[in-house]
Structure 1
Amino acid sequence: MKTILAIISVISFLLIPGLHYDSIPGIFFYLIDVISSLFMESPKIEIIMQLALIVCLIGAFIIFLSEKKNKYLKIFCFFTLLIFAVYFSHIWDGSKATIWFVVDSLIFIISSLLIISNDFKEYHKEYVN
C-alpha cells in the first residue's frame, strides 16, 4: 500500500498545474526553462540558483520516499515539497486557483500524510514491541 501511495504522491505532485496563462504543470515548465537557459544563454547566477532548486527538489523526493527511520526528516521533506508546489504553481502571485490545482494539491497532501502516518505507525509498533 505504501508503494501505491508513493506513486500517487509523486504523480500528483508532478501534475500540479501552474496558475499562469498556460496552466501546464509547473515543474515541467520550470525544467524546460532551466534547460533552455543553460544552452541558449551564458551562465548567470539565476540559472545556477534554478539548478540548485531542482537538485533540492529531487533530493527532497528521494528522502521523502525512501526514509524509514527518521520520521521528522520525512515531515521536513513533505513541507519542503509543499513549498515547492506553491512556488511552482504561482499561487502566491495572486492567481485564482483552478479545480485541477485544488484536486491535485489535495491528492498530493492526503497521500503524503497517509505515507507519513503509516511510517509513524510502523515506528511506534517497532519500539513498543
Structure 2
Amino acid sequence: MSRGGVSAPPASNSGVSPCDCLAHRLGNAADQPDRTRRYGWDLEHAVGLAELDDPAALARATEGDTLLHCDLRADNMLLARGRVMVIDWSWFARGATWVDAAFLLPQLVLAGHTAAGAERLLAETVPAWRRPRRRG
C-alpha cells in the first residue's frame, strides 16, 4: 500500500502496531524475542544502548578532557614520512579518550575489516579502547 507515492512500511514483525523505524524495516526489532538473529550485537548490548538513549547519560559516559577529532576516517589522515597526520578538525571536541576510537571503528569495517577484527585492532593499539575510564 502506498501513501502519497511513498511505500508503506512493512507490518511489524512482533504483532505490535507497525511503525516506520529502521529496526522493523530490517526485521531486527528487539520486541520479537524469537526472531531470527541477524545481528547478535544488538541483543547483547540492548540494555546499555537503551540507557545511552538519554542525552544526559550519553554526556556523562563521554565526559573527559581529551582533545577529540570526532571524524577519523581515511580522507582525514595524511601519511607522510612514516607518520600519520590528522587533518580537517571541523568537528573537534573535548571528551573521553575512547571516543575517537569509537568513531574510527565503523570506518575500519568499511575499509574491509570484520567488526571483530576492527575491535581487536583497536584493543591492540588504543589503550583507552581496552580500558575505558569509568565514571560513576
TM-score (norm 2): 0.24
Higher RCO, Cα 8 Å, sep 6+ = 1
Q: Which has the higher helix share?
A: 1
Normalized per residue, which structure has more strand? 2
Give the greater-gyration-radius structure (CA): 2
Given the two structures, how large is their TM-score scaled by the length of structure 1?
Answer: 0.25
